[in-house]
């Protein structure tokens, strides 16, 4: 069977396992309840602990390939920062990161917090090439790597950048990363060199196992894959919306948990069926011999 | 002679980076070295573009298998480069509305933005999404409990797959508090927190020792493979 089953049936099964829950979400608007794991709760608590007006460095280290997992994290994190009246300074170590940042800023800040002013309440400083080289330099001279914001204004003229000379001047740094450079490099070159700095990371499922090694020492909190994003999203929604209905923009991660559930169940079923066939064939061969 | 200069640059750059955490006066030097690195990294973009052109043009001229893909790659590369460098369709910046090209190449409404939004994003997202189908097929065909190690791996996979979804809550949420550690969602955390972390830290420490050894070999000129050829 394992040799003869047309893989197109498996593909069809996966398509249905993902598509039907998406349709169910769309029709009913329901999502599964989420209870936060310690790494997600730690992310929420770290942001809650900051006093109003604190500046937070937020690095968009991903591209569209990983946006399914990471964009909901970025959206929830930005919403939480804005709600707490914190001031995000956005950078990117990936060439397509600034565009993802612009999308998040447009959706969250311009959509729901239109009173916030660019350069005063938030700023996008864009992409800088060099990977860990950039992180090494901003450890001692932030403006050397990011002298202008995305619109070409010198950072010396931005109120949000007053007093910021190095990365250690930020009380909190958040990286949303899909690979290299990303969470690991932020730990190695920023967190380790600045013991007082709090580092949070939102990472893809593939990266999570590696990044987990740095939690909770060099990495105060971590959002691991879409599950971590859903847990954090639930925490933020509970804090901001309470009993009110959460706008759809802020339920993206939780809406992706139903397709994930049925996708995982299909995988488990396929593995069990494959093993059952394997052992029955092996048993028959042993009897025949 | 040129190799000696390259070795000297490597030695000086490496030593500067090595001593900078211990000597405050060397911090600025290490930033300078990192600046050189960043400039080289930026130049690598140009080098990468040149290399891509060369390889794809050679495949195209040879008309070997898959030459059509090379044609598509070249076309996409040239069009994107032209659109980005030429700021095609860029909307003028409000601060300088009469100055042509004053907007950014990836501003909303520009051709570069359009390519990013309607070509790049769907293609990369689709490629990533397609992995789910391949993983399902591979799991069915290759994931076998043939021995103890494979069985342990299989069991771990089941716990993680179930524990990272609502299935974990449904299946084991009824367990009393004193046995809450056995709930699938908590087991998944324990696996990541204990077994995965222990294994990964061992790997990371091993890699770090290897990097340190390689760094020393580079600094003292024992490893010259980065110079190319049979240096």
Helices (H), chain A: 7-28, 38-48, 67-83, 97-104, 111-112, 132-138, 142-145, 183-186, 205-211, 225-240, 252-255, 257-288
What residues have CB less than 8 Å from A80, skipping those under 6 apart?
A44, A47, A236, A239, A240
Query: What span, in angstroms and rounded, lies between the C-alpha atoms of B58 and B71?
Result: 11
Range with top average pLDDT, A110-114, A278-282, B116-120: A110-114
Give the pLDDT score at A83.
Answer: 97
Say whether pLDDT at A206 is over 80.
Answer: yes
Say whether pLDDT at A2 is over 60.
Answer: no
Nearest-CA distance B104 → chain A (Å) = 8
Q: Are A99 and B107 in contact (CB under 8 A)?
A: no
Whether a cis peptide bond, with omega within 30° of 0, leads into A90 is no
Q: Which residue of A22, A131, A213, A226 to mutate against B (max B Cβ within 10 Å)?
A: A213
Chain B hits for A65, Cβ within 8 Å: 124-125, 127-128
Q: Which residue has the tokens 């936060």?
A: A36
**Domain map of chain B by residue range?**
143-231
User: Any CB–CB contact under 8 A between B153 and chain A?
Assistant: no
Give the pLDDT score at A72.
Answer: 96
Q: Which pLDDT band, with edges at 50, 70 and 90, does A55 fall under? A: very high
- Which CA distances in Å does A161 have to A124, A133, A149, A165, A266? 11, 21, 10, 8, 50
Q: Are A89 and A243 in contact (CB under 8 A)?
A: no
8 Å CB contact of A225 and B42 = no
Q: Which residue has the tokens 């049925």?
A: A262
Comparing alpha-carbon positions, the chain A residue that sits nearest to B28 is A140
8 Å CB contact of B42 and A140 = no
Give the pLDDT score at B1.
Answer: 72
8 Å CB contact of A14 and B196 = no
Residue B224 half-sphere exposure toward CB, CA atoms < 13 A: 15
Chain B hits for A131, Cβ within 8 Å: 41
Nearest-CA distance B230 → chain A (Å) = 28
Q: Are B82 and B110 in contact (CB under 8 A)?
A: no
Helix (H, G, I), strand (E, B) or coil at A72: helix
Comparing alpha-carbon positions, the chain A residue that sits nearest to B104 is A151
8 Å CB contact of B197 and A212 = yes
Comparing alpha-carbon positions, the chain A residue that sits nearest to B198 is A213
What residues have CB less than 8 Å from B87, skipping those under 6 apart?
B101, B103, B105, B110, B112
Residue A63 half-sphere exposure toward CB, CA atoms < 13 A: 19
CB pairs < 8 Å spanning A and B: 146
Helix (H, G, I), strand (E, B) or coil at A248: helix
Strand segments (E) across A128-232:
172-177, 198-203, 221-224
Q: Which residue has the tokens 């065909």?
A: B141
Between positions 61 and 90 of B, the ones with CB within 8 A of A are: none
Comparing alpha-carbon positions, the chain B residue that sits nearest to A269 is B140
8 Å CB contact of A2 and B135 = no
Comparing alpha-carbon positions, the chain A residue that sits nearest to B27 is A140
Q: Are A82 and A108 in contact (CB under 8 A)?
A: yes
Nearest-CA distance A52 → chain B (Å) = 31
pLDDT tens figures, B118-158 = 998 899 889 988 999 999 999 998 889 999 999 999 999 99
User: Any CB–CB contact under 8 A between B197 and chain A?
Assistant: yes
User: Any CB–CB contact under 8 A between B132 and chain A?
Assistant: yes
pLDDT tens figures, B164-193 = 999 998 999 899 999 999 999 999 989 998
Sign of CA dihedral A254, A259, A264, A269: positive
Say whether pLDDT at B50 is over 60.
Answer: yes
Q: Which residue has the tokens 């139903």?
A: A258
- The ipTM of this complex is 0.85
Say whether pLDDT at A1 is over 70.
Answer: no
Q: Using CB atoms, which residue from A134, A266, A271 is nearest to B38?
A: A134
């Amino acid at each position: 069977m394992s040799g003869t089953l047309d893989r197109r049936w498996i593909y069809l099964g996966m398509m249905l396992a993902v598509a039907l829950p998406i349709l169910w979400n769309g029709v009913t608007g329901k999502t599964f309840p989420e209870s936060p794991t310690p790494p997600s709760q730690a992310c929420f608590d770290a942001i809650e602990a900051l006093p109003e007006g604190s500046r937070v460095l937020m690095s968009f280290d991903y591209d569209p390939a990983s946006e399914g997992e990471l964009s909901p994290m970025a959206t929830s994190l930005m919403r939480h920062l804005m709600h707490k009246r914190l001031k995000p300074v956005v950078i990117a170590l990936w060439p397509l990161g600034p565009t993802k940042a612009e999308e998040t800023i447009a959706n969250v800040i311009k959509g729901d917090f239109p009173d916030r002013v660019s350069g005063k309440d938030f700023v996008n400083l864009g992409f800088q090439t060099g990977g860990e080289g950039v992180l090494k330099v901003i450890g001692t001279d932030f403006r050397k790597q990011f002298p202008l914001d995305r619109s070409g204004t010198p950072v010396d003229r931005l109120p949000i950048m007053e007093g910021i000379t190095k990365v250690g001047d930020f009380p909190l740094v958040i990286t949303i990363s899909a690979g290299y450079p990303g969470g690991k490099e932020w730990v190695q070159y920023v967190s380790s060199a600045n013991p007082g700095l709090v580092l949070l990371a939102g990472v893809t499922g593939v990266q999570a196992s590696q990044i987990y090694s740095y939690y909770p020492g060099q990495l105060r909190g971590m959002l691991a894959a879409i599950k971590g994003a859903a847990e954090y999203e639930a925490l933020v929604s509970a804090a901001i919306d309470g009993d009110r209905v959460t706008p759809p923009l802020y339920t993206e991660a939780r809406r992706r948990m139903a397709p994930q559930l049925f996708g995982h169940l299909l995988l488990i079923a396929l593995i069990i069926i494959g093993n059952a066939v394997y052992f029955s064939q092996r048993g028959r061969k042993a009897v025949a011999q | 002679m040129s190799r000696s200069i390259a070795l000297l640059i490597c030695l000086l750059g490496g030593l500067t980076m090595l001593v900078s955490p211990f000597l405050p006066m060397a911090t600025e030097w290490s930033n300078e070295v990192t600046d050189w690195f960043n400039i080289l990294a930026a130049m690598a973009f140009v080098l990468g573009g040149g290399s891509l052109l060369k390889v794809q043009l050679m495949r195209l001229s040879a008309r070997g298998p898959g030459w059509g893909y090379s044609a598509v790659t070249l076309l996409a590369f040239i069009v994107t480069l032209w659109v980005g460098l030429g700021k095609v369709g860029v909307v003028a910046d409000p601060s300088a509305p009469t100055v042509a090209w004053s907007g950014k190449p990836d501003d909303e409404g520009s051709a570069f933005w359009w390519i990013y939004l309607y070509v790049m994003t769907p293609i990369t997202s689709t490629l990533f999404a397609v992995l789910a189908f391949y993983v399902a097929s591979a799991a069915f065909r290759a994931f076998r409990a043939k021995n103890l190690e494979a069985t342990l791996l299989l069991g771990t996979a089941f716990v993680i797959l179930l524990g990272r979804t609502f299935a974990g809550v449904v299946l084991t949420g009824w367990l009393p508090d004193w046995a809450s550690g056995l709930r699938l969602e908590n087991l998944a955390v324990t696996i990541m927190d204990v077994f995965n972390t222990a294994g990964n830290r061992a790997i990371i420490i091993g890699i770090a020792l290897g990097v340190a050894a390689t760094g020393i070999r580079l600094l003292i000129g024992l490893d010259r493979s980065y110079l190319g050829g049979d240096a």
